[in-house]
Amino acid sequence: MAVEMDHIWKTFQIPHEKRTTLFENLMGLCRPNSFETFSVLKDISFKVEAGECVGIIGDNGSGKSTLLKIIANILRATKGTVRVKGKMTPFLELGVGFHPDMTARENISVYGTIMGLSRREINDSIDDVIDFAGLHKFEDTKLKNLSSGMQVRLAFSTAIQTEPDVLLVDEVLAVGDMEFQHKCFDVFNRYRKEGVTILFVSHDLGAVRRFCDRTLLLGGGEQRAFGETGEILDKYVYGEKESNLEKEAAEKETTPARPNRWGDKKVTITDVKFLDKFGMQSSRFSSFDPMTIRIFYSAPDGICDPVFGIALYSEKDQHLYGTNTELKNTTIDKIEGDGYIDLEIGRIPMLSGRFLLTVAAQTHEGNVFDWIDKKYSFEVLRKDRDDGLFEVPCKWVA
Amino acid sequence: MLTANHIQELCRYRDLILRIAWSDFKLRYKNSALGFLWSLLDPLLMLIVLYVVFTNLMRIQVEHYQLFLLLGIILWNFLDRGTSLSIWGIVGKPSMVQKVYFPRDILVISTCIMALMMTALEFLVFIIFMAVFQVMPGMTIAYFPPIFACQFLIVLGLSLALAALNVYFRDVQFIWKVIVQIGFFATPIIYPITIFPENVRWMVMINPMAQIITMMRDCILYRTGPEPLSLVYLAISSLLVLFAGYLIFDRLEPNFAEAI
């Protein structure tokens, strides 16, 4: 057992009136200050085996970072106990204690010491660090004269000299360019092979899927699920629908119909739903999963041979794709009353991002019954580490 | 708390303590042409002013008054500097408190050690002055290390309490400044303890700093060893200050990362 969390609660007390001086506190003695208590973590219990890599995921504000800080002993739990076995190194921020007025070399010494390296280890590895960071020419340059990219490289190269038993990683991988991120992943792979226990907080679900044996899902400070990574990621992406639907409903209400809908309303589109691979309504999808767009219509007077169409836009308003029943050679003889039509997508090719959907019903001649422009949207979450907007089906041949 | 375990832990972190102290020390002078000399200039200027005032206007009759005065100022400066730098020891390094973990008293200890380094420089000047005025210390100089160690414990104890309090009450620094100012005049630094009538001297000497400065002068300048009773009193009071400091520090430490 490398890390054991036993019924951890963390409550922050936020005073209504912030008193930062002795004077204010003395003056406030006769007026008791009231507190707002806010539970960031509620009854979190889990165990991590030695050598395991555990991902921690959840929306912003779900308590991921707080949890990591409690494991790191930076924050203390309000209730419950934390047990960590072995030497622990937190990568919560790179370059803690870096000082702009010191040279690269001096900063390595200080930062290395903070990360728990002994003087001898630092002396032995300092040249490797400078090599790895590619800063040979700049080793005696003051840190403030290095570019921010160089500073991050310097910090990272120093940090990975540590040989922890338990490694805590918070979103640090998110900074830096692609090349740097690849370097990071290489290093984490090395750590994993060496049997280091890793706790990994990330929004990058692709990375979590690749690296983590098990995953902890937090939501609103509660432990929603803990188990095998694939299962938990599905739960995260497709689960928790109600709250999302409510949110979306609220969004729709707050954005009144802009002049983005037109048509003679002989057919009206009453609703659009996105269905996931389980046939449940969702607004979040993993890339490469199947998805169904269900368009609900109402045609009180009955219409012969209508055409339904959709168009996809990126958040930056790029037109990505458009199709309709005519183009796909699907004929609809006659519709009358309320009903729906499905567009089945076998594999979502988009990698990540938010996508806007236009739906329309019209005649073959182009007379619009109802056209709703970019009103509906869904989100795609990254599954692996390919870069860009969408996947091109391909493979490498060597 | 200051247990054997904790002291052991601190020993494991000795590299870190010294590294932070040394880099802070270097940083202080990095951008100034005169470098280390600046730290000497400050007590020297004060010495000159006080010396002129007190030898010409007030006429205090003390043997080796220049050295008498300089030693007092250096020792007091150590307390002043150690505590006023340490007040920022925690608040001034938020990322070291919020992003990594090591026993947080390390930040205060290393600040005190940095102040010690600055004081060591001043002692170098003091040695030169002793040579210039041809004052040779006797065997009683052997009392210097234990007395100075006691002062270090007092400075550390005060620093721990102040650094911790300043996280929650940001006006502690101003209050402390006033207290140090008062202390400077309430402690026999510019005057000898003998200016007080015999029956009120004990009131001045309750102050451990008064004990330290008086004993230091006796053993360095006047070849007189301290009275055992005073030495015992100093040892006990410095340990008390240290423990009180740790008590306050440990009480407040768990919430540093949130309150900072």
Closest residue in A to B22 (Cα) is A110
Say whether pLDDT at A254 is over 60: no
- For residue B19, give the nearest of A20, A101, A109 by CB distance: A109
- Domain, as residue range, for B171: 4-259
Looking at every residue in chain B, the average pLDDT score rounds to: 89
Q: Is B3 on the interface with A (CB under 8 A)?
A: no
Q: Is the dihedral of CA A274, A277, A283, A289 positive or negative?
A: negative
Q: What is the value of pTM for the model shown?
A: 0.78
- Indicate the number of domains in chain B: 1
DSSP per position, chain B:
---HHHHHHHHHTHHHHHHHHHHHHHHHHHT-TTTTHHHHHHHHHHHHHHHHIIIIII----TTHHHHHHHHHHHHHHHHHHHHHHHHHHHT-HHHHHT--S-THHHHHHHHHHHHHHHHHHHHHHHHHHHHTT----GGGGGHHHHHHHHHHHHHHHHHHHHHHHHH-TTHHHHHHHHHHHHHHHSTTSS-GGGS-GGGHHHHHTSHHHHHHHHHHHHHTS--PPPHHHHHHHHHHHHHHHHHHHHHHHHHGGGHHHH-
Q: Is A99 on the interface with B (CB under 8 A)?
A: yes
The token pair at A143 is 């840190």
In degrees rounded to 5, what are phi and psi of residue B47?
Answer: -60, -45
Say whether pLDDT at B114 is over 90: yes
Q: What percent of chain B has pLDDT over 90?
A: 51
Looking at every residue in chain A, the average pLDDT score rounds to: 85
The token pair at B226 is 């301290």
Average pLDDT over residues A234-239: 81
- Sequence-distant (≥ 6) Cβ neighbours of residue B11 within 8 angstroms: none
Dmax (CA) for chain A in angstroms is 86
> Which of these, B200, B162, B203, lies nearest to B179 by C-alpha position?
B162
**Burial class of residue B135 (count of CB atoms within 10 Å of its CB; 0-12, 13-18, 19+):** middle
Interface test with A, best of B9, B12, B19 (most A CBs within 10 A): B19
A76 and B16 in contact by Cβ < 8 A? no
> Which of these, B167, B212, B194, B153, lies nearest to B7 by C-alpha position?
B153
B87 chain-A contacts, CB cut-off 8 A: none
Reported as a single tens digit per residue, the pLDDT across A301-360 is 888 889 999 999 888 788 889 999 988 888 888 888 889 999 999 999 988 888 989 999
Say whether pLDDT at B90 is over 90: yes
Say whether pLDDT at B92 is over 70: yes
The pLDDT of residue A240 is: 54
Say whether pLDDT at A242 is over 60: no
Say whether pLDDT at A229 is over 50: yes
A74 and B23 in contact by Cβ < 8 A? no
Pick the more confident residue, A260 or A79: A79
Average pLDDT over residues A228-257: 62
Reported as a single tens digit per residue, the pLDDT across A105-157 is 989 999 999 888 888 999 999 988 888 888 888 888 888 898 888 888 888 88
Q: Is B50 on the interface with A (CB under 8 A)?
A: no
Reported as a single tens digit per residue, the pLDDT across A266-301 is 888 988 999 988 888 888 888 888 999 999 999 888
Q: What pLDDT band is residue A263 in, cutting at 50, 70 and 90?
A: confident
The token pair at A37 is 């208590």
Average pLDDT over residues A4-12: 91
Residue A124 carries which DSSP code? Answer: H
Q: Tally A–B CB contacts below 8 A.
A: 73
Q: Which of A165-179, B19-33, B197-211 is predicted most confidently?
A: B197-211
Q: What percent of chain A has pLDDT over 90?
A: 24
Q: Is B251 on the interface with A (CB under 8 A)?
A: no
- For residue A21, give the nearest of B170, B257, B258 by CB distance: B170
The pLDDT of residue A47 is: 93
DSSP per position, A174-204:
GSS-HHHHHHHHHHHHHHHHTT-EEEEE-S-
Q: Which helix (H) or strand (E) holds A100?
A: none
The token pair at B243 is 């423990």
The pLDDT of residue B31 is: 66
Average pLDDT over residues A225-252: 69
